[in-house]
Amino acid sequence: MDGVFNSPLMIKLQDFGQKLGSNKFLSALQAGMMSCMAPIMVGSIFSIICAVGPMFGLFQNGDAVYNILYAPYHFTMDLLAFWVVLLIAFNYAKSIKLKSPVMSAVQTAVCFTLLACTWSKNEAGANIMDVTYLGAQGMFVSFFVCFFVCQVEKFCQEKDIRIKMPDVCPPSLVNGFSAILPLLFAIVPLYVLEVVIGLATGGAYGLCSGFMAVLSAPLNALVSVPGMFILVPFATVLWCFGIHGTIIIVSVLMPLMLQAATANAAAYAQGGYSALVFYPVALFAGIGMCGGTGNTLPLVIFGLKAKSEQIRAVSKIALVPGWFGINEPVTFGMPIMYNPILCIPFVLNVIVVMACTLLLYKIGFLVPAFVPIMTLMPMGFGSFLGTLRWQNAIWDYLAMIPAGLVWYPFFKIYDNQLYKKEQEAKAAEAAAAKA
């Protein structure tokens, strides 16, 4: 195993990861993601409550109690890109030494919401704002906006382009007036781009929706078995770069999944399990049957015994959400995004799990679902309710074996790397204390 860890390929991967980590924007991106753990975890808790409640008959999906309990999720996870854009902009502004990182974060948030939201009135005259792209769907555009706005402000700072106030004015007032011109210079080209896209598409798209449409368009043809082995791993690749690949792929596959379930429901009513038909879209489950997208629960379990304090801490808080298929705590906290050592198994294990799943369908151990389950449930529950077979439910847990075999060597590399950094930091602190 030491030979694997010290192989030229792994050494190059670690060097590449360190180079990525030294990039100021990517460092700020990771810091922003890690800092967003509070809304992620709180949103996950309420999501789990809303998943468990209907199972015990406490309330039903969509009723008044459910909507009350689900509201915190809307204002945390469904606005994730908004919270992330604030934190990334703040950290990036600090790293490039802008004078007021707080104002930089506010300016970035203003620009991003202008691009991500639409404002209208209903028949009663009440204001309505569509916040779809303030969630994970708009996250990649938020990265671009962070970089652009902060770079505009950096240019203005270096060229001393600002509205100047007397030195006797309070710093907060000085910062407020200094931010006016940089915000104006950033917001105008971004808004022009948004308007141009809208005019060119007859109002059908803006920057965020257009970006998602461009990504989704070529994916519609990839619904055969070979196509699914391209489509589903592609979703995890997108995740590695901060794009919510699952949302993109689901938007393409959801109608096909519902059609397959409906067709199989009719077939089951006529001829039972023997009449069910395998549709390639069933392989989509391989993207996250054990721990959410990327099958990250094995990584979390390994992490409970990690040498690195960071990995152990993240794994402890990610364990229960992971059982419910919520893997944002580990994706952003480990982190996996922009981390080549963990991105490789994040993509690779999905291919392996899909291959095993296909084999089990071929030999008849698994059967296609004929009951559409479109809600969050613990591992195995949705698979059982969708097929009424224990074999499908148990596979969610058995899939952790091939996924874990892929995750383990990369986990060890990353654990050793972080542990070494933590020990070096402690030694530096001890030396500074003695001095």
Domain that includes residue 131, residue range: 25-214
End position of a domain, from candidates 169, 190, 214: 214
pTM: 0.71
Q: Which structure tokens are listed for 203? A: 């109002």
Do the domain assignments include residue 11? no
Same domain, 328 and 238: yes
**Phi first, then psi: what are they for 91, rounded to 5°?**
-70, -40
User: Half-sphere exposure of residue 27, counting CA atoms within 13 Å on the CB side?
Assistant: 12
pLDDT at position 373 over 90: no
| Residue 4: pLDDT band with limits 50, 70, 90 | low
pLDDT tens profile 134-143: 987 788 889 8
If one compares 154 and 38, the residue with the highest pLDDT of the two is 154
Do the domain assignments include residue 314? yes
Closest residue by Cα to residue 303 from 329, 279, 285: 329
pLDDT at position 397 over 70: yes
Do the domain assignments include residue 364? yes
End position of a domain, from candidates 191, 214, 237: 214
Question: Which DSSP string corresponds to 325-355?
Answer: T--HHHHHHTT-TT-HHHHHHHHHHHHHHHH
pLDDT tens profile 65-113: 989 998 998 898 888 889 989 999 999 999 999 999 999 999 999 999 9
Compute the distance between CA of residue 338 and CA of residue 18 in angstroms, rounded to an integer. Answer: 11
Do the domain assignments include residue 8? no
Secondary-structure breakdown of the chain: helix, strand, coil percentages, each rounded to the nearest 5:
75, 0, 25
Same domain, 368 and 406: yes
pLDDT tens profile 265-292: 878 877 888 888 898 989 999 999 998 8
End position of a domain, from candidates 172, 187, 214: 214
* End-to-end Cα distance, the chain: 40
Amino acid at 89: A
Compute the distance between CA of residue 394 and CA of residue 398 in angstroms, rounded to an integer. Answer: 6
Same domain, 184 and 226: no
- CA 16 to chain CA centroid, nearest Å: 22
Closest residue by Cα to residue 185 from 158, 148, 160: 148
Task: Choose the most confident range, by mean pLDDT, from 225-229, 265-269, 279-283, 401-405.
Answer: 401-405
Same domain, 171 and 81: yes
Do the domain assignments include residue 5? no
Same domain, 233 and 306: yes
Of how many residues is the chain composed?
435
Do the domain assignments include residue 142? yes
3-state secondary structure of 75: coil
Compute the distance between CA of residue 87 and CA of residue 31 in angstroms, rounded to an integer. Answer: 8
If one compares 416 and 169, the residue with the highest pLDDT of the two is 416
Same domain, 45 and 126: yes
Choose the weakest-confidence range: 3-7, 54-58, 199-203, 350-354. Answer: 3-7
Same domain, 203 and 324: no
pLDDT at position 317 over 70: yes
Compute the distance between CA of residue 309 and CA of residue 315 in angstroms, rounded to an integer. Answer: 10
Same domain, 241 and 134: no
Do the domain assignments include residue 29? yes
Do the domain assignments include residue 402? yes
Counting Cβ atoms within 10 Å, is residue 218 exposed (0-12), middle (13-18) or buried (19+)? exposed
Query: Do 223 and 281 form a contact (C-beta atoms < 8 A)?
Result: yes
- Counting the structural domains of the chain, the total is 2
pLDDT tens profile 197-209: 999 999 889 998 8
Compute the distance between CA of residue 371 and CA of residue 392 in angstroms, rounded to an integer. Answer: 13
Same domain, 287 and 354: yes
Query: Do 120 and 128 form a contact (C-beta atoms < 8 A)?
Result: yes
Same domain, 161 and 246: no
- pLDDT at residue 255, as a whole number: 63
Same domain, 170 and 317: no
- pLDDT at residue 399, as a whole number: 96
- pLDDT at residue 62, as a whole number: 82
Counting Cβ atoms within 10 Å, is residue 265 exposed (0-12), middle (13-18) or buried (19+)? middle
* Residues 6 or more apart whose Cβ sits within 8 Å of residue 126: none
Same domain, 264 and 210: no
Q: Work out the percent of the chain whose per-residue pLDDT is above 70.
A: 92
Q: What is the mean pLDDT of residues 391-395?
A: 94
3-state secondary structure of 120: strand
Compute the distance between CA of residue 140 and CA of residue 80 in angstroms, rounded to an integer. Answer: 12
Element (H, E) at 287: none
pLDDT at position 60 over 90: no
